Amino acid sequence: MKKSILSLLKSSLIFIVVFLAGTIAANASSISRNEIVFDNINYERSSSIRVFIDARQIYFDSNPQIINGRVLVPMNSIFSEFGLSVSWDNDTKTAIGENREYQIQFTIGESIAIINGQEQSLDVPARIINGRTMIPLRFLSENMGYNVVWIQESNIILLSRSDIVEWRYEGYERIAPYKEYEVKYINGTKTSETRYTGTNYDVKFYNLYSADGRIVPNVPEFDVSRYGTGWYFESPYANKTYWIEMGSLGFAQGKNQFYDFQSINPISENTIRESADVGNYIKVKIESHYFDLNAWRVINNFSDSIVMQAQTQEFLDGKVIPSRDTMFKVTVNDRFVSIIAFNELTGPILSPRNNSIYTVFERNPRTVFSWDENTWNRLKGKTPWTGMSKDMLLVQKLRRPEKSSSIQGRFSLLDLWVYEEEYVDSVFYFEDSILISIW
């Protein structure tokens, strides 16, 4: 009886040991594999091909060459790295590399190589380049049991008899804090496994501008392409300077379109008019085209605008803001840093009133007309005078005559201009472009 119990225990113990050994071996094979991790590789493209064996870069005395889509490398260097002794048959121009496992023969110019006595076809034969015998790297590597990974965008070749494991930089997450991550590759094949690099990407944000004046604020760089064509990183209106007649900006109707940039309080007409030094023209330099929610609530405040939904400026990030809701930061008469609504400034510039003339200049009117200070001061008023030129009257009237006629006399050219006023027409009589009579 005692013998039977001992036999049973012995059999059970053997079963348990065998079972555990098998389980451990199975688990080990499922979680472990023969891998070489290629770390610390600079994937930035270089001008010459770089070759790594088991994550170690090897160097050649002559750069690898691409011939008909195949990479050829110097024979002596690669044979040595693979543990092959080198011999050369000068009569047949054959390079021979061998060790205990392999004997490999390449004959210059021949499309057949011999591996352990077996002929193998070559896509590209060995050849001599710049005095060096060059042989096809992939063919040699694969026939010696190496995995080969060619990373074309980096000009890199990875070689190993083990599985080649890489962690390639893939990019960054599209939500803050924009973590950068890498993706695992095995033998050049991308896997689904990722890992955080420990750093966050410094995402750039842009304001996008359209030719018609719309703005999209704070667009992350990875979303820029989503808006399609017709968007620019700079406004076509910024960094331009105009000399604009005050009446065309609404001052004649008692409107004041300029607001102090800091306080967003209106700047008085008299303050602006007194600082003008060219008749009734004020100099307006557009510093930037932008959107500011606080300023919009003061100077625009359209009830049917998307902006009405915004509680904070950030609510509008990435949204298309109509041009009428945008604004300009401007410097007026080189003195006042101001805000003006988009439509109020672009209206007289882009869509002047019918028949208007000389309401806007893109350069100083003093350089357009060589008139003295007294003339410019007289033009601030509304009273014409005999002796003024046609251009002077046009600058004062800011519009062309409704009717005109010309007569070539014996000694001079006579012109008759008629301006239709609210109660009575005004008639101006010119001789050789100088006003000689007013009716």
Structure confidence by residue, pLDDT tens digits, 127-140: 999 999 999 999 99
Model pLDDT, residue 41 = 92
The answer on pLDDT for 72 being more than 80 is: yes
The per-residue DSSP string of 357-373 comes to -SSEESS-HHHHS---H
The Cα 399–Cα 247 span in angstroms is: 12
The Cα 120–Cα 116 span in angstroms is: 10
Evaluate whether 129 touches 89 at the Cβ level (below 8 Å): no
Q: Dihedrals φ, ψ of 391, to 5°?
A: -60, -35
The answer on pLDDT for 282 being more than 70 is: yes
Query: In 201-342, at which residue ranges do the beta strands (DSSP E only) sit?
Result: 205-209, 215-220, 241-245, 259-260, 281-290, 327-332, 336-341
The answer on pLDDT for 40 being more than 70 is: yes
Residue 335: burial class (beta carbons within 10 Å; 0-12, 13-18, 19+): exposed
The Cα 328–Cα 238 span in angstroms is: 8
* Phi-psi region at 109: left, alpha or beta (left = phi > 0; alpha = psi -120 to 50): left
Model pLDDT, residue 3 = 44
Would you state the structure tokens that stand for residue 212, as one six-digit string? 């018609």
The Cα 33–Cα 173 span in angstroms is: 30
pLDDT band of 253, cuts 50, 70, 90: low
Percent of the chain predicted with pLDDT > 70: 91
pLDDT digits (tens, 9 = 90+) for 229-241: 999 999 999 999 9
Contacts of 433 (CB under 8 A, 6+ apart): 389, 390, 413, 415
The Cα 321–Cα 347 span in angstroms is: 18
* Closest C-alpha among 290, 271, 383 to residue 332: 271
Helix (H, G, I), strand (E, B) or coil at 207: strand
pLDDT band of 218, cuts 50, 70, 90: very high
Model pLDDT, residue 10 = 47
The answer on pLDDT for 8 being more than 60 is: no
Return mean pLDDT, the chain: 90
The Cα 189–Cα 185 span in angstroms is: 5
pLDDT digits (tens, 9 = 90+) for 380-394: 988 999 999 999 999
Contacts of 135 (CB under 8 A, 6+ apart): 72, 73, 75, 78, 95, 106, 126
For 152-177, what is the mean pLDDT? 96
Helix (H) or strand (E) run with residue 299 in it = helix 293-299
For 350-368, what is the mean pLDDT? 93
Would you state the structure tokens that stand for residue 379, as one six-digit string? 């033009």
HSE toward the beta carbon, residue 434, CA cutoff 13 A? 5
For the chain, domains (ranges, CATH) are: 38-161 (3.30.457.10), 166-200 (no CATH), 222-367 (no CATH), 369-438 (no CATH)
Model pLDDT, residue 23 = 43
Q: In terms of pLDDT, which residue wins out, 15 or 205?
A: 205
The Cα 352–Cα 255 span in angstroms is: 17
The answer on pLDDT for 2 being more than 60 is: no
Would you state the structure tokens that stand for residue 273, as one six-digit string? 């008019």
Model pLDDT, residue 382 = 87
The Cα 334–Cα 359 span in angstroms is: 19
Helix (H, G, I), strand (E, B) or coil at 111: coil
b/e string for 6-18 if b means 16 or more Cβ within 10 A? Answer: eeeeeeeeeeeee
The Cα 370–Cα 218 span in angstroms is: 46
For 116-126, what is the mean pLDDT? 96
Q: How distant is the alpha carbon of residue 378 from its chain centre? A: 52
Judge if pTM exceeds 0.75.
Answer: no
Model pLDDT, residue 352 = 87
Would you state the structure tokens that stand for residue 306, as one six-digit string? 């998307």
Q: Dihedrals φ, ψ of 336, to 5°?
A: -110, 120
* Phi-psi region at 250: left, alpha or beta (left = phi > 0; alpha = psi -120 to 50): left
Model pLDDT, residue 114 = 97
Evaluate whether 417 touches 266 at the Cβ level (below 8 Å): no
